A and B are shown apart, each in its own frame.
Chain A
Amino acid sequence: MLRLVPSRRPRKVEVVETNELQNRNLPSSNDTTTADSSQHALTCRYLQYSINERILIDDVSLSLSRTDITVVLGFNGAGKSLLLRLLHGMIKPSRGEVLWNGRPCNLAIRRKQAMVFQKPVLLRRSVVDNVRFVLENYGIHDRSRATELLEHVGLAHLAQRPARKLSGGEQQRLALGRALANEPDVLFLDEATSSLDPASVRAIEDIVMDARRRGTKIILVTHDIGQARRLAGEVLFMSNGRLAELAPANAFFENPQSHEALAYLEGRLP
């Protein structure tokens, strides 16, 4: 019995026997034949996540570039946010592994990553104290660094305001500024701009692009095709917990290779 992974794109197709896939031993993390750490920031191998025998992420194997912004697209329930959490090490996969620069995800690697959620979770403190909290967690006690970060995200004038009294856009900018406190190697954004107005989206995207220029790898989940077109260097399309397509952004938007991606881009309802 044959299975195609992913579905239609010829250059990405990997034909494997299902039984072979199930029985295959995972290579060790030192195996350099599959983990090309010089070109890829991230390599995932046979990643699976299930709860109560229900498979939510199914056999995802991929390699993401070191520099491009990776945009994760897919319908609701496709497993995009779950994949992000698996990559960030917030949850452990049921099977498979995630390698960052060829090494398994550990605490030291996780502390050089950051994540911004759809709904910013701000502490019940002032704006500046929210940033200081994260800086202190990373052992940075330089108080001027908090001010620098707030200036960077345009919130320095609101430093003493209670964080939870800011507008939605300001809250998300604060969450982003806080995420950048440790100059992370990787920044995950889980639909971080989904409930913001265009001006706030623009402000967030500018900060994200600036972070990318400084060398931070960006992986973002969005439903906004326009945003995906603006930011994406490569697109990862998820469907029903499986990787349907991973391609450079231009190729993906011009000629999607999977039926699901085509339907998504054409705005067809699933």
Chain B
Amino acid sequence: MLRNYVFSLRNFRITMQDLGQSFALAMRLILDFDADLFEIITLSLHISLIATAIACVSGMMFGAFVAVKDFPGRSAVIVLMNSLMSLPPVVVGLIVYLSLSRAGPFGWLGLLYSPSAMIIAQVLLITPIIAALSRQLLEDLYQEYREQFDSFALSSMATVRAILWDGRYSLITVALAGFGRSVSEVGAIIIVGGNIEHFTRVMTTAIALETSKGNLDMALALGIILLLLSLLVNAMVSTLRLSATRLGYA
């Protein structure tokens, strides 16, 4: 019993030392403006931001439409939207892979193993998340405005535009959830991107690769950078939302 405890303690100390070393390595890589690291970070951000932007436009519009419009089968659509939130990334990766492979329906586009394929996979993954969260949030907002909008005799399109604008600060949080899912995703993009160095290697696929090679220092350094990045984005969004709430706009 005591031996196990001492063993665990020693392992813990080693792990903490590893973490400390990895953190130092991460800081050194950042401060030295390591070209490979910044290439990976830039590509990660590039892919995630484009995927999030596309998913936000389509997902938020669709979510707003479902929030304000009453149509047959609406409940089924909402159940489907909510279910698609937990879409397995590897399944999405596989579907995109089959669609973009030479024998697939979109093989002629030649997009497989390219950043575009990774963006497509991520858009498919995060659009349902953004649509479902937006629908819930905007429906609550619409319930608050409904009578007044009925009184104005607003068209559906004008209503959708109005609630999207008025829900903008809350929707930033939804966009953030989509971005978070996108930047941390590995299963789908490794299938469709192939993790090709200097071309489709992003932070998550690089971490997976470095871990499999036993290069834990580098994997942890990349992980720390990923966490710092996520923390920074969250802090910025939280500050924005807080000030909007204080001003009565959120």
Q: Which of chain B's residues 140-175 have a Cβ closer than 8 Å to chain A? A: 144-145, 147-148, 150-154, 158, 162, 165-166, 169
Q: Are A114 and B151 in contact (CB under 8 A)?
A: yes
Interface class of chain A by DSSP: mixed
CA distance A94 to B35 in the complex (A): 72
Known: A162-B247, A162-B248. A123 touches B166 (CB 8 A): yes
Contacts of B158 in A (CB 8 A): 137
How many A-B pairs have beta carbons closer than 8 Å: the answer is 41
Q: Select A90's contact among B150, B162, B169, beta carbons within 8 Å.
A: B150
Complex formed: what's the CA distance from A124 to B250 in Å? 7
- Interface membership of A110, Cβ < 8 A: yes
Query: B243: shortest Cβ distance to chain A, in Å?
Result: 11
Residue B249 is within 8 A (CB to CB) of chain A in the complex: yes
> Which chain B residues lie closer than 8 Å to A134 at the CB level?
152
Is A107 at the interface (CB under 8 A from chain B)?
yes
Interface residues of A in 112-158 (CB under 8 A from B): 113-115, 117, 121, 123-125, 133-134, 137
CB distance from A56 to the nearest CB of B (A): 17
Chain A residue contacts of B247, Cβ below 8 A: 162, 165
Would you call A242 an interface residue if the criterion is a C-beta within 8 Å of the partner chain's C-beta atoms? no
Tell me, rounded to whole Å, the shortest Cβ–Cβ distance linking B70 to chain A. Answer: 14
Whole-angstrom distance between the alpha carbons of A107 and B154 in the complex?
A: 10
On chain A, the residues within 8 Å of B150 by CB distance are 90
What is the number of residues of chain A that contact chain B, defined by CB distance less than 8 Å? 20
> Is A163's CB under 8 angstroms from B145's CB?
no
B151 contacts which of A90, A124, A133, A165 (Cβ < 8 Å)? A90
Residue of A nearest to B149 (CB): A121
Question: Is A115 a contact partner of B249 (Cβ separation < 8 A)?
Answer: no
Q: Known contacts A117-B147, A117-B148, A133-B162; is A125 also within 8 Å of B154 by CB? A: no
- Whole-angstrom CA separation of A2 from B249 in the bound complex: 58
Chain A residues within an 8 Å CB radius of B145 = 121, 123
For B153, the chain A residues whose CB sits under 8 A away are 107, 110-111
For A212, what are the chain B residues with a Cβ–Cβ distance below 8 Å?
none
Q: B248 to chain A: which residues have CB within 8 Å?
A: 124, 162-165
Nearest-Cβ distance from residue A4 to partner chain B, whole angstroms: 34
With contact pairs A125-B249, A164-B248 given, residues A137 and B152 touching in the complex (Cβ less than 8 Å):
yes
Q: Mark B88-120, 1 if CB is under 8 A from A, else 0.
A: 000000000000000000000000000000000
- Using Cβ atoms and an 8 Å threshold, which residues of chain A touch B144? 121
Q: Are B249 and A162 in contact (CB under 8 A)?
A: yes
A163 vs B153: C-alpha distance when bound (angstroms): 21
> A113: which B residues are within 8 A, CB to CB?
151
| Interface membership of A88, Cβ < 8 A | yes
Give CA–CA (A121, B150) in the complex, Å. 12
Most A CB within 10 A of own CB, among B144, B153, B165? B153
Closest to A88 in B: B151
A 184-221 binary contact with B (CB < 8 Å = 1; else 0): 00000000000000000000000000000000000000
Q: Report B180 CB to chain A, min CB distance, Å.
A: 25
Interface string of B215-250 (1 = CB under 8 A from A): 000000000000000000000000000000001111
Q: How far is the CA of A107 from the CA of B153 in the complex (A)?
A: 7
Q: How far is the CB of B142 from chain A (nearest CB, A)?
A: 11
Residues of B within 8 A of A88 (CB): 151
Distance in Å from the Cβ of A210 to the closest Cβ of chain B?
A: 21
**Looking at the complex, which one of A111, A124, A137 makes contact with B249 (CB distance below 8 Å)?**
A124
Please name 20 further chain A to chain B contacts, defined as beta carbons within 8 Å, in addition to the given A124-B166, A125-B165, A162-B247, sorted by A numbering. A88-B151, A90-B151, A110-B153, A114-B151, A117-B151, A121-B144, A121-B145, A121-B148, A123-B145, A123-B162, A124-B169, A124-B249, A125-B249, A133-B162, A137-B152, A137-B154, A162-B249, A163-B248, A164-B249, A165-B248
18 residue pairs from A and B, CB less than 8 Å apart: A88-B151, A90-B150, A110-B153, A113-B151, A114-B151, A115-B151, A117-B147, A117-B148, A117-B151, A121-B144, A121-B145, A121-B148, A124-B166, A124-B250, A134-B152, A137-B152, A164-B249, A165-B248
Q: Measuring CB to CB, which residues of chain B are less than 8 angstroms from any residue of chain A?
A: 144-145, 147-148, 150-154, 158, 162, 165-166, 169, 247-250
Nearest 9 pairs of A and B residues by beta carbon:
A162-B248, A164-B248, A121-B148, A115-B151, A165-B248, A124-B166, A110-B153, A90-B150, A124-B249
